[in-house]
């Protein structure tokens, strides 16, 4: 496509410049005080500007810029190319612009479809945000953990704002409906959260009042020393039954209450040390007594063992308490004596059970009679019969030995 001045432009003798627009020459203006070359160059630059605008529109089409923006640019250029004051292939620019305009509907349709998909995706995304907030609002109040729920509420609200600012625009009616649902769920949660913390604050105030009173009572027990422990344990049960304050307040109150108890238990520990020192003599005496009666464990005669055990307990009961750390050891050794004699008692009564003894004596008599009869029959029997009777006799004698043992 030629673009020289000779092809599309000429300078007349009077200094006016014409352009070949299609098959017709028409004047485009003049360039006073300039040479013909300068005049032609001036209007060629005008054409170059128009051509650059057309090229830009084509590039934007290739880049799939917004079709409506390209259409506006094409419309503007179409007006400018009606009879432009420029020298160049103006008809060629109109053809390029016309070709571009013919392709715009396809781009518009493509972008509309893409826009619809993006809007549908945006609606689905915002619907998910709303559904998540409604799910939080539908949670049973007694099951809600407000710390994590508050965090989730904040994150969902920020997600809504971010999507509203950066996501595709969605139809106003749809956007308003979604916002109404989101706001309703969020407002309901906020109302429940405020009510929860107001109630918690009330309980915290009540807890502080109750527990400060318990602390005062516990601290007043300090003068009683270890004797105040029973009362302190009663106060501890009341503490457990009282409502809880906020965590930071509760920890501080508990530290004071526990410190009051520590004073009492420290006094008890000191008293136990004194008692243990005094009771060491009793421990030595009990250990010596246990060693003295250790033979109880080797006695098999029930009456002898029982006599020794009674003598042991008579002496043991006269001795005082032992240090706390030795109580279990002493008790275990005494139980060994008691258990040994108990086993001898049980064995005696098993053997001398009247009913069992009567049954045994009855069976023993029957076996004696059977043995006598068998012995008489064996005396006259011969062959296999005698062998059979002899085997039966041995069995009866074995039974009798078990019963009489």
More confident residue, 106 or 356: 106
Q: Is the pLDDT of residue 2 over 50?
A: no
Residue 6: which pLDDT band, with cuts at 50, 70 and 90? low
Q: Is 385 a member of any domain?
A: yes
Vertex 109: Cα angle to 64 and 52 (nearest 5) = 35
Q: How far apart are CA 145 and CA 193, in angstroms?
A: 10
Same-domain status, 175 and 257: no
Cβ pair 54, 91 in contact under 8 A: no
* Residue 200 confidence (pLDDT): 74
DSSP 317: T
Q: Is 278 a member of any domain?
A: no
What mean pLDDT, rounded, does the chain reach? 86
Same-domain status, 325 and 366: no
Q: How far apart are CA 221 and CA 120, in angstroms?
A: 73
Q: Is 331 a member of any domain?
A: yes
Q: Is the pLDDT of residue 237 over 70?
A: yes
Where a domain ends, among 335, 351, 367? 351
More confident residue, 93 or 369: 93
Collapsing DSSP to helix, strand or coil, 279 comes out as helix
Q: Which tokens belong to 59?
A: 């590039």
Q: Is 285 a member of any domain?
A: no
**What is the average per-residue pLDDT within 224-243?**
88
Same-domain status, 27 and 109: yes
Domain count, the chain: 5
Same-domain status, 96 and 134: no
* Residue 354 confidence (pLDDT): 57
Cβ pair 403, 363 in contact under 8 A: yes
Residue 5: which pLDDT band, with cuts at 50, 70 and 90? very low
* Residue 387 confidence (pLDDT): 76
Q: Is 282 a member of any domain?
A: no
Same-domain status, 218 and 317: no
Same-domain status, 87 and 60: yes
Same-domain status, 51 and 110: yes
More confident residue, 92 or 403: 92
Angstrom CA distances, 37 to 2, 72, 292, 332, stand at 17, 35, 144, 130
% of the chain with per-residue pLDDT over 70: 95
Q: How far apart are CA 204 and CA 275, in angstroms?
A: 44
> Range of 319's domain?
293-351
Q: Is the pLDDT of residue 405 over 70?
A: no
For residues 216-249, b (16+ Cβ closer than 10 Å) or e, as one string?
Answer: ebbeebeeeeeebbeebeebeeebeebbebeeee
Count of other CB atoms within 10 angstroms of residue 264: 22
Where a domain ends, among 79, 114, 149? 114
**What is the average per-residue pLDDT within 87-99?**
94
Same-domain status, 184 and 148: yes
Give residues with Cβ within 8 angstroms of 307, minimum separation 6: none
Q: Is the pLDDT of residue 95 over 90?
A: yes
Same-domain status, 42 and 65: yes
345 half-sphere exposure, CB direction, 13 A CA radius? 10
* Residue 193 confidence (pLDDT): 87
Same-domain status, 225 and 310: no
Torsion of Cα atoms, 296 then 298 then 303 then 307, to 10°: -20
Same-domain status, 100 and 136: no
Q: Is 371 a member of any domain?
A: yes
Same-domain status, 110 and 17: yes
* Residue 76 confidence (pLDDT): 94
Cβ pair 77, 97 in contact under 8 A: yes
Q: Is 396 a member of any domain?
A: yes
């Amino acid at each position: 496509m030629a673009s020289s001045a000779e092809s599309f432009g000429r300078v007349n003798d009077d200094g006016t410049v014409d352009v070949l627009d299609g098959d017709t020459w028409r004047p485009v203006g003049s360039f006073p005080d300039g040479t013909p070359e300068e005049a032609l160059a001036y209007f060629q630059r005008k054409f170059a500007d128009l051509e650059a605008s057309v090229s830009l529109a084509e590039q934007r089409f290739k880049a799939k810029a917004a079709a409506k923006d390209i259409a506006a640019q094409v419309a503007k250029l179409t007006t400018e190319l009606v009879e432009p004051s420029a020298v160049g292939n103006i008809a060629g620019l109109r053809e390029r612009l016309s070709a571009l305009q013919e392709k715009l509907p396809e781009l518009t349709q493509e972008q509309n479809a893409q826009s619809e998909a993006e809007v549908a995706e945006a609606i689905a995304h915002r619907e998910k945000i709303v559904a998540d907030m409604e799910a939080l609002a539908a949670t049973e109040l007694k099951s809600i953990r407000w710390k994590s729920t508050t965090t989730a509420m904040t994150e969902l609200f920020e997600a809504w704002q971010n999507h509203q600012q950066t996501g595709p625009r969605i139809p106003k009616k749809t956007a308003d409906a979604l916002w109404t649902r989101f706001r309703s769920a969020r407002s309901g949660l906020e109302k429940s959260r405020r009510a929860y913390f107001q109630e918690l604050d009330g309980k915290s105030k009540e807890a502080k009042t109750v527990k400060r009173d318990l602390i005062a009572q516990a601290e007043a027990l300090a003068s009683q020393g270890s004797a105040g422990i029973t009362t302190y344990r009663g106060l501890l049960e009341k503490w457990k039954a009282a409502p809880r304050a906020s965590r930071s307040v509760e920890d501080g109150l508990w530290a004071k209450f526990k410190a009051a108890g520590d004073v009492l238990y420290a006094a008890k520990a000191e008293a136990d040390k004194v008692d243990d020192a005094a009771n060491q003599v009793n421990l030595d005496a009990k250990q010596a007594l246990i060693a003295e009666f250790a033979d109880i464990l080797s006695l098999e005669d029930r009456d002898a063992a029982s006599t020794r055990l009674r003598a042991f307990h008579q002496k043991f009961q006269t001795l005082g308490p032992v240090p706390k750390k030795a109580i279990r050891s002493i008790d275990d050794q005494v139980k060994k004596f008691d258990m040994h004699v108990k086993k001898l008692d049980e064995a005696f009564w098993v053997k001398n059970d009247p009913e069992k003894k009567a049954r045994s004596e009855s069976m023993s008599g029957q076996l004696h009679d059977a043995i006598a009869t068998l012995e008489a029959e064996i005396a006259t029997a011969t062959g296999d019969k005698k062998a059979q009777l002899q085997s039966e006799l041995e069995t009866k004698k074995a039974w009798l030995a078990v019963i009489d043992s």
